[in-house]
Structure 1
Amino acid sequence: MTTTWIITGASRGLGRSLALAALANGHNVLAAVRDPETVADLATAHPGFAAVAHDVTDTEAAPGLVQAALDRFGRIDVLVNNAGRAVVGAVEEVGDAQLRDLMALHLFGPAALVRAALPSMRAQGSGTIIQMSSQGGRISFPGVSAYSASKFALEGWSESLAGEVAPFGVRVMIVEPSRFRTGFHGALEFTEADAVYGDTLAAVRADMAGVDGRQEGDPGKAARIITDLVAGEDLPLRLPLGAEAVARLYAAHRRGLDEIERLADLARSADFEGMAPSVRPV
């Protein structure tokens, strides 16, 4: 069956790799990009490809993008919220505007597109929403507070979404990659360094600035994994991608479980005496 994909940020990196993988499988792709000229080669080579100029942070434009896909291809089967970027800097170095911009790009924009696409997906009784997060959407470290905050928000929003739309045949997968050769690190925004955090963040800044082109992750392989999972029946809620993501996420969960176990008796003591265990619908 030919399916139709909407992919944001498809002009390069993992978004472009996903577009190529979907096209190679015979599917249709509507690329949401700032400049359609950046994907003109795909439009020329593939009749099932179309591009629309779209700014993800313009939430009012989301219904128009969805309607463009419906007008061109008649349906929407997969929505990939992929567009993203990062700011590197200490909490005190990142201003309100930078933090709001990342929230707009990684949470409010994807949320608007999901809301616009869901009526069509519910009506057809199927659909898949792919939320491109990061290992930084589950764990964080000094220097990436703004980026992680926006991805943590996306993950919490998407986990709730998954439970709400499952009865309608709509699936959600949150992808948590480690470092991939997508151009992401070559486009990082660095705050002006404050001497107060020089010792704390110097190594992080140098690492983030110098890794581009040396990342372990292959975006082509990642795209094929994602498209294969979308085509199958067993779609995970979360997909770690890359050996580093597996190792770091596993270690973080293990530390978290150990800490809960260590503090369990103290935590339980905060409840009223003699209360029955809480009962919730989910």
Structure 2
Amino acid sequence: MRVWFITGASRGFGALVTKALLDVGDAVVATARSPQAIVDVVGNHPRLLALRLDVTRAWEAIEAAEMAVLHFGRIDVVFNNAGYGLLGAVEEATAEEIEDLYRTNVFGLLAVIRAVLPHMRARRSGHVLNMSSIGGYFGHQGWGVYCSTKFAVEGLTEALAIELAPLGIKATVIEPGFFRTDFLDGQSLAVSPHLIDDYHATSGAMRGFAADANHNQPGDPARFARALIEMVDNPDPPRRMPFGSDTVRAISAKNAMVDAELAKWRGLALSTDYPAPSTDAA
């Protein structure tokens, strides 16, 4: 039996993964701002510990991690799932909107990592799963600020994987595409009310796409939950794990674009090094 610590577990991926884990026999410390909301969705279960956690409050993360270890004896997997989206052009987003988004998606994730890692290091075992997005690998119009938070999560996870490997702890960044969850609903998505006409064809078009795509996304959340568990079961999990055909296509397109751009500008890129020492005889 593994012990999972999940943030944002009252809905969406967090609730679905919690249910799937209980079904396969694992224990779950499921956290959200309202523990009762978790119980309302998942139900009462002897292997479920529902705790209050607002990830923007670092002290609550420390308390929740301590309570998890006190209750189950350890934390084997932490799934940093809490977060939300912000739709709007980069220029349209206000300073307050940007700061609030980073407070949850980046600083909140870091708070949970810092709270859980001491317990994992003590046991020289564990797996850190950080929720990113298709937007953490490929920037999209209308999602610039949101993508920037997920790019941060990608970089943090890559560094964590290197730092934690000698300690027996793994780290994986999770990159789901568009799944039929409530992500595009008001509870998980903030839409900047500030509109600039010059962005009508780019971020404006994305606003329309998001409204039309809601609950018509190609990804099956239940399949995601099962696939995530299968990945964690593997003794050699990936450093980054995309989920969804749209994410796979976006990664392939991004890699091809980067390769082509590098080939075009390679000469200029290499021209900035100091000249190699001369090997000519004196």
Which of 194, 197, 200 is equivalent to 1:195?
197
Q: Does 1:222 align with 2:224?
A: yes
Q: What is aligned with 1:50?
A: 49
CA-atom RMSD in angstroms: 1.4
Aligned match of 1:60: 59
What aligned pairs does 1:172-251 form with structure 2 within 5 A after superposition?
Answer: 172-187=171-186, 188-192=189-193, 193-251=195-253
Q: Which amino acid aligns with 1:149?
A: S
Taking the aligned partners of 1:35 and 1:52, their CA distance within structure 2 comes to: 8
> Counterparts of 1:176 and 1:34 in 2: how far apart (Å)?
24
Tell me if 1:144 matches 2:161.
no
Find the counterpart in structure 1 of residue 153 from structure 2: 154
Q: Confirm or deny: 8 A CA contact 1:43 1:49 kept in the other structure.
A: no
1:194-248 deviations in whole A, cap 9, x for unaligned?
2232233222110112211111111111111111111121200011100000001
2:87 aligned partner: 88
Gaps of 5+ in 1: 277-282
Structure 1 contact 69–75 (Cα < 8 Å) conserved = yes
Query: Residue deviations 1:114-170, cap 9 Å, x none?
Result: 111111111112100000100100111211111001110111111111100111110
How far apart, CA to CA, are the structure 2 residues paired with 1:222 and 1:58? Answer: 29
The AA in structure 2 aligned to 1:170 is: I
| Alignment correspondent of 2:33 | 34
After TM superposition, the structure 1 stretch with the greater mean CA deviation from structure 2, 236-245 or 193-202, is 193-202
Please identify, of 111-120 and 164-173, the stretch whose mean Cα deviation from structure 2 is larger: 111-120
What does residue range 257-276 of structure 1 map to in structure 2 within 5 Å? Answer: 257-274=259-276
Secondary structure of the 1:93 match is: coil
Do 1:143 and 1:201's aligned partners in 2 also have CA atoms closer than 8 Å? yes
Any unmatched runs of 5+ in structure 2? Answer: none
- Distance of aligned partners of 1:198 and 1:3 in 2 relative to their CA distance in 1, 3 Å threshold: same
Partner amino acid for 1:155?
E
Deviations 1:67-95 (A, max 9, x none): 11011111000000001111111111101
Deviation string, structure 1 residues 263-282 (Cα, Å, up to 9, x no partner): 11111111111169xxxxxx
What is the rounded CA distance, in whole Å, between the counterparts of 1:212 and 1:24 in structure 2?
28
Q: Tell me the secondary structure at the aligned position of residue 83 of structure 1.
A: coil
- Code of the residue aligned with 2:262 in structure 1: it is I
Cα distance between partner residues in 1 of 2:42 and 2:20: 15
Query: Contact 2:15–2:42 (CA<8 Å) still a contact in 1?
Result: no
In the other structure, the counterpart of 1:280 is none
Aligned ranges 1:106-125 → 2 under 5 Å: 106-125=105-124
- 2:178·2:244 contact (CA, 8 Å) conserved in 1? yes
Inter-partner Cα distance in structure 1 for 2:191 and 2:102: 17
Identity of aligned residues (%): 38
SS in 1 for 2:173: strand
How far does residue 41 in structure 1 lie from its aligned partner after superposition? Answer: 4.0
Contact 2:88 2:204 in 1 (8 A): no
User: 2: CA distance between counterparts of 1:128 and 1:99?
Assistant: 29
Tell me, what secondary structure is at the counterpart of 1:104? helix
Give per-residue Cα distances to partners, 1:156-198, cap 9 Å, x unaligned.
1111111001111100110101001110011222112222322
C-alpha deviation, 1:255, in angstroms: 0.6
Q: Which residue of 2 aligns with 1:105?
A: 104
Q: Read off the aligned partner of 1:25 and give its amino acid letter.
A: V
Tell me the SS of whatever aligns to 1:185: coil
